[in-house]
Structure 1
């Protein structure tokens, strides 16, 4: 509808506000709050800015954070700039590195002035009878030479041939929709035209040059001058009093409407210092009282209508016309200026510029006259300290659009609600539009008729994302009870279960789908599906579950739970029962399976005790805690469960829990506490039964707690553990329950004392002797911390060693990333793709090691396991096979787990 912007090829970040050459009114302490906003199409950690002085080249601001916690494709922030002419560099930051930039070459903080008057303010030609009125003796002088003098461009051609179809409509409607918007700020060249009504520079570009040289800041002019008007026309159009005129249209409220449109369309954004008033020559037929009334009425109207009671005015003494200096005009103007506390200041006395050379038609200014007027205006503003003693009105921050996904690779761009007019630069007048690739901006009007220019939105070429690959795409649940499905998209996902992680664990049959999510706009890809079917799962049972026989006795073992499947006993029998008569303690097993290869196995042990011996009692201990992430001073409940798997009843079973430091005993209904130790005694525990006892304890310091308990004694022997042998030997008569305080987080570790630990046998190496014909590769992995919080960065190091006799060549390493960890960076140039981090080593000599490090961000809670393996090597390895899995215990694999809370 108005001034359409081109459809740009988009980058990853686009600064769309301020527009080039926009100037913001500074405060009297030489500062302005400058909003910086725009669009981005890549996910960033933050947006920062550099601000550079265009005149001196000095950097005023560097890496100043504009916004964090980005979402929705629009960034928005503000910085405080001092008076000057600035270059603003906007930067997108990921992992503290700059990955995208955009630059606004010229942004000004300085002085904003509006001009009101007749043709000598607007700019005019002039002619005389001696040339039959066919010559122009008042051509405009050149526009500003200083880059910092600006306006809003009105002339589409920027030549003496003024052309603007929109302005032609504006002249017949006075609708500010047809005036140029915030994208048309320009240097005040000779023929750019100054919105809303001037067609060429006249002397204002020269005034700007002189002011900029003295003030050292940019100057912005708006020009509401209307040739042929006087203060009576302006006054009556302001107060809606009808009048007749040959070409001034009262019905449009001309000429006052030009000032109204400046104040409503531009000033809310840029602010303003004051108004330069240059009327008078056309008022000479009026008496002084009327002239004074009209001037005061217009000044008051502007201040009142736009809620700017202190808006400053500088009034020129402009009283010379037709060969005379009109006293009535001068007196009226001087009376207004001299009114006490009226905030109207003495402008230039233009009646002194009155020679035929300067005013060929005795009204308008020739080129030499314009030069003198320019000097006079600059001197008047500077000598009256207009820019120091007046109170400016600063600009307002612009509202920001909202962005949502639409169909067909498009976005829905919505302007804020509660505005009464929406004008998009590409034509629509609705609050929201749906748009594909391009740049879209609008002006919006509030109920007070003020216009705003929300930062333009840049829509990239692609807002949808490719459909991810889901692995596996089909699987069968059988003897495994759950299955991990992983999306090939490592950035952001949405599963049909509602999960947003890269991987999910499913435990039921069905069809599961995942969609890749655009990390900026949230647009979804087409779904990728995985089908999970349920195999024939079995739970075989042998009855009885245990038995004790004398030598020579027999018993019948009966199978159940294998209906519809094949079954086989460990004896080779396939019947539903077998009769056994063991002479020594013997274990019998039963397996059942289907054609889908689902296999399940169970077993029972028949005990045949020797004579004169106490029956063995296989005791095991389990300890749990009800809250593994308490706060400091929380009370937690520990439960110690002792199981007797038989065959004999266990008698006089004692157990102890030596509490770690800062874990204080509170109470227990059945257990005793003394000297830091919780203890209990079971007089009899029948075979196949479990006894559980609980106690409460208070966590009094931040850190990790490893609380261990063990069985200290039993009348019956235990076939696979030794009572009282300590809690660190891995036997099943001891257990540890760990917890970690949530807030505050601390690295301190408190563990149960273990004074009775029997000596453990030395670790026996299972490594073969070094071979001169092979390369023996091994991996180790370490992390910077083992306990983390969501959002925290953790570092990992993979250490690769060659213990063989040959140099290893063409080594490849693969590290599987778990869901919940997001790769950040690697200084060793490791490559991350689809959840797999890879590295390559061209050669590793015998006896040497090398390492790779990388960092990751924690995105979810729980146990997170990194699994690495050697995936390739040109030499054979005597004790491991490359790329055969990371969980087989071979020394070319390494796993490390961290815990996120």
Structure 2
């Protein structure tokens, strides 16, 4: 009989097989804004015994977060399933990722996905050929694995799928993520199926009978005994063909990974077992075969974590048959629950061209035999396992420039492709997926997720914040403005600050992002522009004099280059003046600043400290005597100031001896050299002493004190022990004797200024002529001076001619001194003068008028 193709097991294949595409093949146009990552085209999910299955739909979208994602199922052709109308799978999915579960009955479907925004369909896509039907894992040896170029027929029915991949290096732990295709005659059936063999034809028969799609995996390995399968369940198996051991824990390692990876993804109806030829060749005892198969079946169920159904073909033909092998297989079917009879194949295509392998039309016969074994009773009573829940990933917010990916569901183990076994990881741009395991070791991969800028934009961000300023955003250099936004969990300003508010003193554009309680960052706020205007240079002050001075003086402060500064800036002193110079009168620190066209003020100049010493209090002058006194006398003015006293006449003593009339003031001079205001003016009047009179007799009865006297002068006449005071400067001598006279006047009631007494004058009283005296007499012009010794009140003065004719008549109120009488033009001759009054007797005197 022909030897098995050991070389295919133990040497590297001469061809480098290009591994299939990633698990999650995008099946929509490249420019679409929504894609479906899972399920992929031609996948088949194992249905339950009630003809239903649920599977996860996973995809991505771009643009803004949709209101909801809906899916529908539509049979590819009429009668190939039951349509499912649009139904919600997720509301408001975040981060560009969506996922949800849909349930349907057996069929071959077009999966449709659409995104709803604002009540309208915004994007949609489709995945063609998604199946709910039957899934089988084939195991055994070469008549299960298949051989190329042995006339294997393809599946003619569109609904028969496989994963067209060959594990040529017999990797024992993990296969590539499957991508599914139609089962053609030369297709590989992952992980180790070498051709369509009889499985394409079986698929056609099952599809035609069950009206559901069929998916095959193949873990068979040629030239393997049941002993090798059993030994490899927990170690390395002996290879009876070439000696030594099988590599990588073959052959069972291929079944274990297929169950844990493929069957986890799609579910499984049963393992289709075709093996026995090698048991015949090496004459394994019946009991051992039973034990071997029991252990392999048990191990498969342990590894899958499920009571997987098995269908055992009865096969022993290897150039001849062996009853012990068939008996052992029958005993296993009858002794282990949920193990079903498969076809009896020892009678198919006998004799066989190479002694072992079925070929050509025999493969169709083999397919029919399998179809006949998979009865309705089998489908009703076998224990299918549905697809395990596919791990899905939700996107959440993380720190700036990153996204949090969160694996959904509870699993015994998780492992991200970037390392880490937590359910959530924080990532930036890149491709990510998570591998999960259940307690039995079944594992699944999430769909690959490509994170880019669009995902960051599709997070459920809070609204962009609003920035407010607590003062004007245009300000002068040296000032600042506080920018504040609303309360949030965290803040990120464009300048790197992380507080709710920032204070800036620079020109810039500022934005802020805020993070909500879910960790999502908003888009940046509208920019707030701050403008910092320049400030002028601080001016310099020039003092035009000493900085310390007395209060009766001033100081001019001037801005250096002030006239030039005023053409470009405005000056402002601390006191508010806006000129380039100010006059300072008070103590203080004086500074000036400049402002420009932006109303920005420079710093104040260096302060000029001015000290203004107060003036001493004005002294009070206290006279020690009368301030009005006579010539040749003196008095003292006293100042009450104990400081240096400076009198108005230049004297510097505290007391001033005054001998002259004047307006006297005094000022105090302190230690700072400051002089007080003048005291109140003290007027000193020094009255002159009247000139010493000279007595001169001016008429027969009258003496006169000669001298130039003021009107207020009085005269005190002393004669013969008597005294008489006159207001006029003349005196009618009352008697003959020596007379002297003193001129005086009163400064006040008790104070007078007196002249020296005149020299004595000897006066002789002459009362002849009735006490009336006329002179000149005679008179050339009719003018006479008339005096009377007696003082006559209301005197009547008359002049009569010798004939008694009245030629002159005059009334004199007080006839005291000489009275000048000018007579009208009279003829020369003698005339009579009469003087009298009501109180005085008439006195007469003869007058003579000389011719002209």
Name the TM-score, length of structure 2 as normaliser. 0.51
The equivalent of 1:665 in structure 2 is none
Find the partner of 2:62 among 28, 31, 41: 41
Q: In structure 2, what is the Cα distance between the partners aligned to 1:435 and 1:152?
A: 33
- Tell me, yes or no, if structure 1 residue 281 matches structure 2 residue 277: yes
The equivalent of 1:393 in structure 2 is 385
The equivalent of 1:148 in structure 2 is 159
Q: In structure 2, what is the Cα distance between the partners aligned to 1:140 and 1:565?
A: 113
Asked if 1 retains the 8 angstrom alpha-carbon contact of 2:96 and 2:455, the reply is no
Question: Any residues of structure 2 matched to 1:294-313 within 5 Å, and which?
Answer: 294-309=292-307, 311-313=308-310
More displaced 10-residue stretch of structure 1: 146-155 or 238-247: 238-247
Unaligned runs of 5+ in 2: 1-17, 475-480, 495-499, 534-572, 577-595, 600-852
Asked if 2 retains the 8 angstrom alpha-carbon contact of 1:495 and 1:513, the reply is no
Q: Displacement, 1:512? A: 9.1
Find the partner of 2:180 among 168, 175, 185: 185
Q: In structure 2, what is the Cα distance between the partners aligned to 1:186 and 1:248?
A: 37
Q: Displacement, 1:207? A: 0.5
C-alpha change, 1:474 and 1:277, in structure 2 (3 Å) is: same
Question: Any residues of structure 2 matched to 1:446-465 within 5 Å, and which?
Answer: 448-460=440-452, 462-463=454-455
Asked if 1 retains the 8 angstrom alpha-carbon contact of 2:39 and 2:56, the reply is yes
Q: Displacement, 1:240? A: 3.2
Q: In structure 2, what is the Cα distance between the partners aligned to 1:526 and 1:264?
A: 47
Deviations 1:394-426 (A, max 9, x none): 1121222354678997756566797657474xx
The equivalent of 1:362 in structure 2 is 355
Structure number with larger C-alpha Rg? 2
The equivalent of 2:329 in structure 1 is 333
C-alpha change, 1:287 and 1:506, in structure 2 (3 Å) is: closer
Asked if 1 retains the 8 angstrom alpha-carbon contact of 2:136 and 2:216, the reply is yes
Asked if 2 retains the 8 angstrom alpha-carbon contact of 1:464 and 1:518, the reply is no
- Tell me, yes or no, if structure 1 residue 94 matches structure 2 residue 128: no
Q: In structure 1, what is the Cα distance between the partners aligned to 2:367 and 2:470?
A: 82
The equivalent of 1:316 in structure 2 is 313
C-alpha change, 1:440 and 1:514, in structure 2 (3 Å) is: same
The equivalent of 2:811 in structure 1 is none
Q: In structure 2, what is the Cα distance between the partners aligned to 1:353 and 1:59?
A: 39
Q: Displacement, 1:217? A: 0.7
Question: Any residues of structure 2 matched to 1:652-731 within 5 Å, and which?
Answer: none
Secondary structure in 2 matching 1:240? coil
Deviations 1:645-701 (A, max 9, x none): xxxxxxxxxxxxxxxxxxxxxxxxxxxxxxxxxxxxxxxxxxxxxxxxxxxxxxxxx
Q: In structure 2, what is the Cα distance between the partners aligned to 1:526 and 1:354?
A: 76
Secondary structure in 2 matching 1:321? coil
- Tell me, yes or no, if structure 1 residue 292 matches structure 2 residue 290: yes
Asked if 1 retains the 8 angstrom alpha-carbon contact of 2:58 and 2:98, the reply is yes
Q: In structure 1, what is the Cα distance between the partners aligned to 2:153 and 2:399?
A: 52
Q: Displacement, 1:461? A: 5.5
Q: Displacement, 1:269? A: 2.0
Unaligned runs of 5+ in 1: 126-137, 156-166, 499-503, 536-562, 567-593, 598-901
Secondary structure in 2 matching 1:207? helix
Q: In structure 1, what is the Cα distance between the partners aligned to 2:70 and 2:103?
A: 14
Q: In structure 1, what is the Cα distance between the partners aligned to 2:575 and 2:329?
A: 111
Deviations 1:450-477 (A, max 9, x none): 2112123243564566999989999728
The equivalent of 2:36 in structure 1 is 15
Secondary structure in 1 matching 2:83? strand
- Tell me, yes or no, if structure 1 residue 380 matches structure 2 residue 373: yes
Secondary structure in 2 matching 1:50? strand
Secondary structure in 2 matching 1:351? coil
Secondary structure in 1 matching 2:346? helix
Q: In structure 1, what is the Cα distance between the partners aligned to 2:348 and 2:176?
A: 34
Asked if 1 retains the 8 angstrom alpha-carbon contact of 2:68 and 2:115, the reply is yes
- Tell me, yes or no, if structure 1 residue 124 matches structure 2 residue 147: yes
Q: Displacement, 1:115? A: 1.0
Asked if 2 retains the 8 angstrom alpha-carbon contact of 1:296 and 1:336, the reply is yes
Q: Displacement, 1:386? A: 1.5
Q: In structure 2, what is the Cα distance between the partners aligned to 1:473 and 1:140?
A: 83
Find the partner of 1:50 among 54, 72, 81: 72
Q: In structure 2, what is the Cα distance between the partners aligned to 1:420 and 1:300?
A: 24
C-alpha change, 1:458 and 1:9, in structure 2 (3 Å) is: farther
Asked if 1 retains the 8 angstrom alpha-carbon contact of 2:259 and 2:303, the reply is no
The equivalent of 1:210 in structure 2 is 205
Secondary structure in 2 matching 1:145? coil
Q: In structure 2, what is the Cα distance between the partners aligned to 1:517 and 1:55?
A: 52
Asked if 2 retains the 8 angstrom alpha-carbon contact of 1:497 and 1:512, the reply is no
Q: In structure 2, what is the Cα distance between the partners aligned to 1:448 and 1:303?
A: 9
- Tell me, yes or no, if structure 1 residue 269 matches structure 2 residue 280: no
More displaced 10-residue stretch of structure 1: 450-459 or 395-404: 395-404
The equivalent of 2:226 in structure 1 is 231
Question: Any residues of structure 2 matched to 1:738-817 within 5 Å, and which?
Answer: none
Asked if 2 retains the 8 angstrom alpha-carbon contact of 1:30 and 1:83, the reply is yes
C-alpha change, 1:335 and 1:33, in structure 2 (3 Å) is: same
The equivalent of 2:816 in structure 1 is none
Q: Displacement, 1:391? A: 2.0
Secondary structure in 1 matching 2:356? coil
Q: Displacement, 1:25? A: 1.0
Asked if 1 retains the 8 angstrom alpha-carbon contact of 2:45 and 2:387, the reply is yes
The equivalent of 1:371 in structure 2 is 364
Secondary structure in 2 matching 1:228? coil
Secondary structure in 1 matching 2:511? strand
Asked if 1 retains the 8 angstrom alpha-carbon contact of 2:137 and 2:219, the reply is yes
Asked if 1 retains the 8 angstrom alpha-carbon contact of 2:465 and 2:524, the reply is no
Asked if 2 retains the 8 angstrom alpha-carbon contact of 1:274 and 1:312, the reply is yes
Q: Displacement, 1:168? A: 3.6
Q: Displacement, 1:257? A: 1.1
The equivalent of 2:800 in structure 1 is none
Secondary structure in 1 matching 2:94? coil
Find the partner of 1:65 among 64, 73, 88: 88
Question: Any residues of structure 2 matched to 1:466-481 within 5 Å, and which?
Answer: 476=472
Secondary structure in 2 matching 1:313? strand
Q: In structure 1, what is the Cα distance between the partners aligned to 2:439 and 2:332?
A: 33
Q: In structure 1, what is the Cα distance between the partners aligned to 2:489 and 2:93?
A: 18
C-alpha change, 1:465 and 1:98, in structure 2 (3 Å) is: closer
Asked if 2 retains the 8 angstrom alpha-carbon contact of 1:421 and 1:446, the reply is no
Q: Displacement, 1:325? A: 2.7
The equivalent of 2:652 in structure 1 is none
Asked if 2 retains the 8 angstrom alpha-carbon contact of 1:193 and 1:200, the reply is yes
C-alpha change, 1:332 and 1:496, in structure 2 (3 Å) is: closer
Name the TM-score, length of structure 1 as normaliser. 0.48
Secondary structure in 2 matching 1:186? strand
Asked if 2 retains the 8 angstrom alpha-carbon contact of 1:508 and 1:534, the reply is no
Secondary structure in 2 matching 1:213? helix
Task: Between the two structures, name the one with larger relative contact order (CA 8 Å, sep ≥ 6).
Answer: 1
Asked if 1 retains the 8 angstrom alpha-carbon contact of 2:69 and 2:115, the reply is yes
Q: In structure 2, what is the Cα distance between the partners aligned to 1:565 and 1:2?
A: 89
Deviations 1:803-842 (A, max 9, x none): xxxxxxxxxxxxxxxxxxxxxxxxxxxxxxxxxxxxxxxx
C-alpha change, 1:50 and 1:337, in structure 2 (3 Å) is: same
Q: In structure 2, what is the Cα distance between the partners aligned to 1:393 and 1:277?
A: 17
State the aligned residue count: 494
Q: In structure 1, what is the Cα distance between the partners aligned to 2:19 and 2:311?
A: 33
C-alpha change, 1:252 and 1:79, in structure 2 (3 Å) is: same
Asked if 2 retains the 8 angstrom alpha-carbon contact of 1:274 and 1:314, the reply is yes
